[in-house]
Structure 1
Amino acid sequence: MNHSPVEGFSKLSKQRKIDWLIKEYLSEDRSYEQVLQQYWNGDHTLQKLHEEFSENTISNFYMPYGIAPNFLIDGKLLALPMAVEESSVVAAASKAAKFWIDKGGFKTTIINTKKLGHTHFILNVEPHKLQHFFNFKLKKRLFEATEEITKNMRNRGGGILNIRLIDKTADLENYFQLKASFDTVDSMGANFINSCLEQFGKTLTEEVQKEESFTQEEKDSLQIVMNILSNFTPDCIVRAEVSCKIEDLKDDSGISNEEFATKFKRAVTIAEIEPFRATTHNKGIMNGVDAVVIATGNDFRATEACAHAYAAKDGKYSSLTHCTTDNGIFRFWIDLPISVGVVGGLTNLHPLVKFSLALLGKPSAQELMSILAVSGLAQNFGALRSLVTTGIQKGHMKMHLFNILNQLGATEEEKNHFVTYFKDKTVTHHEVITEFNKLRNR
């Protein structure tokens, strides 16, 4: 079937958007309209609010919103909100939290909160000449030109921390950067940073044109390529860790504490040296991180991009977590670069986001950084614990059982049968199908 482009789609009403989609792409099957409508919120004000979060919205896409209790973080007992669809994530996090609650819980340290942004520009001038201009004239003017933009942020204790000129001409002809670091306090700060950077671009243009040491040819060569924050924030970082005596690990898998510690550390070491394993290892960490990031209305794409860039910062993709078993002490930790906010964006608008932040005791941005790092560490601990003992599928497939049964259209009675049936067995898709067919044919 050939489709026709549409003009003015964004200006159509929601109903007309749906009508067009059904006609153009869904063979006039009006049953799809019901699929979309069943996810509309009955509260029209709330539905309108959701629709204004994005563009061209025709429905809402729901994800399960769960709670992982028993997280002892820096002496505070918390229940973490997690928005995630993957089976066993909430269960694994909860199990890890319970494991560490009587061993002192999780400890965190904010290492730094610096965020970065760049004005990227082209200028055909000798680097030493530009550096002199930056040091003695431009840098001061950049701070002055952004005073109005940064006033409120400075009043809250943040603002522009520093501005540097970066010579990138070895990588690209005549390419330089104004690299700025920021403290955005409790906001994620994307709009603030980008506003500052756009002013940098304007001020740079003005000051270059006024600079007497530059020739007219040099002035005319200036091109502002872009002004944009970086989602790679290696200096906005938090550490979360757990530790205890190896003799206190008390794993219930049937192996000794010493063997468990040895196997666990070896699994982390493999993730440190083998990128194929590190990718899956870190994905598991982000299962825990992203679930809380989404529940608190933050940007999980930025979180993912930053974490994976950091994992490759030394030239080879590696584990975000680390483990030692020295002097009879088991220690497991993560250094997580993460930029999040608790004011602005969805945090003041989305009702469930407001609930999540209230549930967490209305944390500061730094406290939320700690919570997110702990969530990732707990998820990784739970996954590795399973991998080096019973295997990952036993717990994961037990949680996945209901997904399979729902796909098969199982009744509540049949679901109860399967819970009993797999009480002492490992769930496999093949075994579920086989037993389901037997059950239906009795």
Structure 2
Amino acid sequence: MQDKKIAGFSKMDKQAKIDWLSTHFLEEPTAATQELASFWHQDEDLQRILDGFSENTISNFPLPFGIAPNFMINGKVYAVPMVIEESSVVAAAASAAKFWLPLGGFHTEVVDTVKLGQLHFRWSGTTERWQALFPELEQRLRLEATHLTANMEKRGGGILRLDWLRKTEIAPDYYQLRVSFETCDSMGANFINSVLEQFGATLQQWASSAPELTQKERELQILMAILSNYTPDCVVKAWVECSMEDMQKTLKTGDDVRHFCQKFETAVNIAVHDPYRAVTHNKGIFNGIDSVVLATANDFRAIEACGHAYAARDGQYRSLSRCTIKGDTFRFELEIPLALGTVGGLTKLHPLAKMSLQILGQPSARELMQVIAATGLAQNFGALRSLVTTGIQAGHMKMHLQNILIHFGATPAQIEEAKVHFEDRTVSFTAVREFMAQYNTVQ
């Protein structure tokens, strides 16, 4: 155990890190070293950029970069870049996009783009005293942060408002500044955190020197200053809508269109009221959302955390999408918070993130919100359509067939023959194993 401990690992160069890891944790050190190196980019300058994205980098972990075409969103057609390893996701999104293309496509609307930050502190004064002091203090906070906000204000952003809260359930003397920001096309994390830390410094200086404060009121302790990834006012809506008559022309199923729509509506309602179903239902939505978030080098962990919190905002975890049938009209919609950026961060550093934004037509953050929301809704539609008709496994396992064949060491010729063989058969691990055994026997 002692031999596996190390000090100063981050200061070692990449090769030394790999040598140490291979020696202490991998069964075949030489082969492991070669495999890690095989994933390095041949362009050394580009590899140095990739190494700089994270700490203790020893290799790259490639994920498939795919395209879902035929997305019509607000009358504009997109080819949507998606980065994901799950085999059926891109296919489902592309299928849903194609389904809705002749029906008017997807409609989207950005509700608002407010992002939030919090300054947490403890103060010995009363609520009434703080309320009286706050208007003048707010002016000082804004003034002393001007050097940080000036450029953002030129672009139309900046600090929108400051709200203060006192939550005695946390601590008797706990206060919080909740600050609302507009960060334009930037995700804004560094900007928000810098402003909040400046607020903390201003607040500390004010408490120590303001003549209007009593000795007791000078007791102020900054706890932390950090953005919030819960952004319930940075929200976008996406929806599809059509008549039953129009859907019947597109629907490729033996089911009566009204029967299909009613089953679909019930499936969504189950996820609205049953958290066990809602988690899987929303995971399907994030299959689509995360894929585009990753492709554009945005923060999918923040997006997921915020989305799941939003799904539980009334105290119970629920579906993020809704479905209604009114008369002859079917409507399927999604409302979700998406705090995104198209400038800054890795969006300009990662070559494929730059290409993703180029493919999307160099969208603003607001436009990207709409594209990603539409992709999440498309993914949800594709999954639910399969669930209430053929079942999820038929399509999923068809997509998974090639992975199973590769697992069994199938040649390109065997893969092509297997695709034909399983065209009208159920795909399973056992069935593919039997196919390979039979194929090898015949050969």
Q: TM-score range by the shorter chain?
A: over 0.9
Unaligned regions of 5+ residues in structure 2, if any?
none
Displacement of 1:214 in angstroms is 3.3
1:219-265: CA deviations, max 9, x gaps?
22x11110000000000000011000022222212101100100000
Asked if 1:100 is matched to 2:100, the reply is yes
Match of 2:133 in 1: 133
Between 1:117-126 and 1:425-434, the stretch displaced more is 425-434
Write the distance in 1 (CA, Å) between the matches of 2:408 and 2:321.
39
Amino acid at match of 1:9: F
> 1:85 aligns to what SS in structure 2?
coil
Asked if 1:205 is matched to 2:204, the reply is yes
Any conservation in 2 of the 1:186–1:343 contact (CA below 8 Å)?
A: yes
- The aligned runs of 1:232-243 (5 Å cut-off) are 232-243=230-241
Any conservation in 2 of the 1:3–1:25 contact (CA below 8 Å)?
A: no
Amino acid at match of 2:137: L
Match of 1:76 in 2: 76
- The aligned runs of 1:45-64 (5 Å cut-off) are 45-64=45-64
Amino acid at match of 2:236: V
Unaligned regions of 5+ residues in structure 1, if any?
none
Displacement of 1:213 in angstroms is 4.3
Write the distance in 2 (CA, Å) between the matches of 1:343 and 1:362.
10
Write the distance in 2 (CA, Å) between the matches of 1:2 and 1:432.
46
Amino acid at match of 1:430: T
Match of 1:188 in 2: 187
Any conservation in 1 of the 2:103–2:242 contact (CA below 8 Å)?
A: yes
Any conservation in 1 of the 2:125–2:216 contact (CA below 8 Å)?
A: no
**Percent of paired sites with the same residue:** 53
Between 1:414-423 and 1:263-272, the stretch displaced more is 414-423
1:344-363: CA deviations, max 9, x gaps?
01111111111100100000
Write the distance in 1 (CA, Å) between the matches of 2:237 and 2:426.
36
Amino acid at match of 1:247: E
Match of 1:34 in 2: 34
Write the distance in 1 (CA, Å) between the matches of 2:347 and 2:439.
48
Displacement of 1:141 in angstroms is 0.7
Amino acid at match of 2:234: C
Match of 1:271 in 2: 271
Provide the TM-score with structure 2 as the length reference: 0.97
Provide the TM-score with structure 1 as the length reference: 0.98
Asked if 1:302 is matched to 2:310, the reply is no
Match of 2:226 in 1: 228
Amino acid at match of 2:242: C
> 2:3 aligns to what SS in structure 1?
coil
Aligned residues: 440
Displacement of 1:426 in angstroms is 2.2
Match of 2:262 in 1: 262
Any conservation in 2 of the 1:307–1:336 contact (CA below 8 Å)?
A: yes
Write the distance in 2 (CA, Å) between the matches of 1:358 and 1:207.
47
1:358-395: CA deviations, max 9, x gaps?
10000000000000100100000000000000000000
Match of 2:399 in 1: 399
- The aligned runs of 1:330-349 (5 Å cut-off) are 330-349=330-349
> 1:30 aligns to what SS in structure 2?
helix
Write the distance in 1 (CA, Å) between the matches of 2:128 and 2:396.
59
Write the distance in 2 (CA, Å) between the matches of 1:171 and 1:7.
38
Any conservation in 2 of the 1:161–1:180 contact (CA below 8 Å)?
A: yes
Query: Which residue of the other structure, out of 243, 246, 259, is the alignment partner of 2:244?
Result: 246
Asked if 1:429 is matched to 2:432, the reply is no
> 2:82 aligns to what SS in structure 1?
strand
Between 1:377-386 and 1:423-432, the stretch displaced more is 423-432
Asked if 1:321 is matched to 2:321, the reply is yes
> 2:103 aligns to what SS in structure 1?
coil
- C-alpha RMSD of matched pairs (Å): 1.1
Amino acid at match of 1:199: Q
Write the distance in 2 (CA, Å) between the matches of 1:368 and 1:376.
12
Match of 1:157 in 2: 156
Displacement of 1:28 in angstroms is 5.5
Any conservation in 1 of the 2:127–2:166 contact (CA below 8 Å)?
A: yes
Displacement of 1:8 in angstroms is 1.4
Write the distance in 2 (CA, Å) between the matches of 1:433 and 1:172.
62
Write the distance in 1 (CA, Å) between the matches of 2:124 and 2:434.
72
> 1:96 aligns to what SS in structure 2?
helix
> 1:98 aligns to what SS in structure 2?
helix
Between 1:125-134 and 1:208-217, the stretch displaced more is 208-217
Write the distance in 2 (CA, Å) between the matches of 1:157 and 1:168.
33
Displacement of 1:2 in angstroms is 5.1
Write the distance in 1 (CA, Å) between the matches of 2:360 and 2:40.
28
Write the distance in 2 (CA, Å) between the matches of 1:385 and 1:172.
49
Write the distance in 2 (CA, Å) between the matches of 1:296 and 1:366.
14
